[in-house]
């Protein structure tokens, strides 16, 4: 089945130790998103790739970076995790064509990050 | 810019009873509207969406929602809930010129036998 896969499902890191979360998709979608969801809160968009174009949200901290080496994979790098970065990180994809009606975002199961 | 307000943070309901989750949005432009469900430790799944046309939208798992432009609302309803409907529900809005989603804070539905 076509899907969005996130690895690992649970990640534990130490304060200040860089960590990378990964997302892959078999849907061949051109847009990939990273959301941060803290406990009992709404998902918050960090950034997205439209094809190869990177789009950062204005309030996303510099501590968060992303890479998309090809259509299928997208990575979230947290350079120096703080205690406040503990959250669920959700990856999503969509097939968007500029000028056409909105297309559904498909979400992965998420990676829960714990910072010790 | 658009925003979403979910008026109830927690909704306890008995099995086989009806449920309504309230969602209001604010936007200066035409929008698309969505309801997603999130089961514990899982990603979000789309329940239904309003893009245009009929204001009553039917989704998966017996859910439906009604778009009311004059009241800027998009309330979600189900006539008879099951234990398996226990989850977090998120209303979301997207500006028609911008495909990004803005989510409400979520409503936790707990279904009891």
Q: What is the CATH number of the domain that holds A105?
A: 2.60.40.10
Joined together, the tokens standing for residue A27 give 């849907």
**B85 by DSSP, 3-state: which?**
helix
Q: What is the mean pLDDT of residues A83-91?
A: 96
When comparing pLDDT for A84 and B2, which is higher? A84
CATH of residue B32's domain is 2.60.40.10
Question: Considering only CB atoms, which chain A residues are within 8 Å of B60?
Answer: none
Contact state of A96 with B94 under an 8 Å Cβ cutoff: no
**B15 by DSSP, 3-state: which?**
coil
Query: Does the pLDDT of residue A14 top 80, yes or no?
Result: yes
CA distance B47 to chain A (A): 11
Alpha carbons B61 and B76: distance in angstroms, whole number:
12
pLDDT at position A101 = 60
Tell whether A115 is covered by a domain. Answer: no
Contact state of A43 with B42 under an 8 Å Cβ cutoff: no
Domain of residue B83: give its range: 3-112
Q: What is the mean pLDDT of residues A78-86?
A: 96
Tell whether A30 is covered by a domain. Answer: yes
Alpha carbons B3 and B104: distance in angstroms, whole number:
8
Considering only CB atoms, B32 lies closest to which of A42, A44, A102, namely: A102
Number of domains in chain A: 1
**For residue B52, what are the CA distances in angstroms to A27, B66, B73, B88, B96?**
25, 12, 14, 26, 11
pLDDT at position B112 = 96
In degrees, rounded to 5, the angle at the alpha carbon of residue A67 between the alpha carbons of residues A76 and A91 is 45
CA distance A4 to chain B (A): 10
Output the CA torsion A49→A53→A57→A62 (10° steps).
Answer: 100
Q: Could you tell me which chain A residue has the CA closest to the CA of B101?
A: A45
Q: What is the mean pLDDT of residues A80-96?
A: 94
Alpha carbons A3 and A77: distance in angstroms, whole number:
22
Tell me which residues of chain B have a pLDDT lower than 50: none
pLDDT at position A10 = 95
pLDDT at position A52 = 92
């Amino acid at each position: 089945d076509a899907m969005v896969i996130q690895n690992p499902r649970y990640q534990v890191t130490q304060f200040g130790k860089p960590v990378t979360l990964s997302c892959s998709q078999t849907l061949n979608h051109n847009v990939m998103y990273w959301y941060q969801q803290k406990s009992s809160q709404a998902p918050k968009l960090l950034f997205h790739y439209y094809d190869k174009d990177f789009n950062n949200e204005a309030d996303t901290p510099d501590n968060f970076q992303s890479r998309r080496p090809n259509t299928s994979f997208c990575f979230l790098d947290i350079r120096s995790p703080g205690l406040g970065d503990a959250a669920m990180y959700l990856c999503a994809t969509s097939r968007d064509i500029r000028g056409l009606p909105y297309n559904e975002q498909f979400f992965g199961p998420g990676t829960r990050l714990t910072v010790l | 810019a658009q925003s979403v307000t979910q008026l109830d943070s927690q909704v306890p309901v008995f099995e086989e009873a009806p449920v309504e989750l309230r969602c209001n949005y604010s936007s200066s432009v035409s929008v698309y509207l969505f309801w997603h469900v999130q089961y514990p430790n899982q990603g979000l799944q789309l329940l239904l969406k309003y893009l245009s046309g009929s204001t009553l939208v039917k989704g998966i798992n017996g859910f439906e929602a009604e778009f009311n432009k004059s009241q800027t609302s998009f309330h979600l309803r189900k006539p008879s809930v099951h234990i398996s409907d226990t989850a977090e529900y998120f209303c979301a809005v997207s500006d028609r010129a911008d495909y990004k989603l803005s989510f409400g804070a979520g409503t936790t539905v707990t279904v009891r036998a």
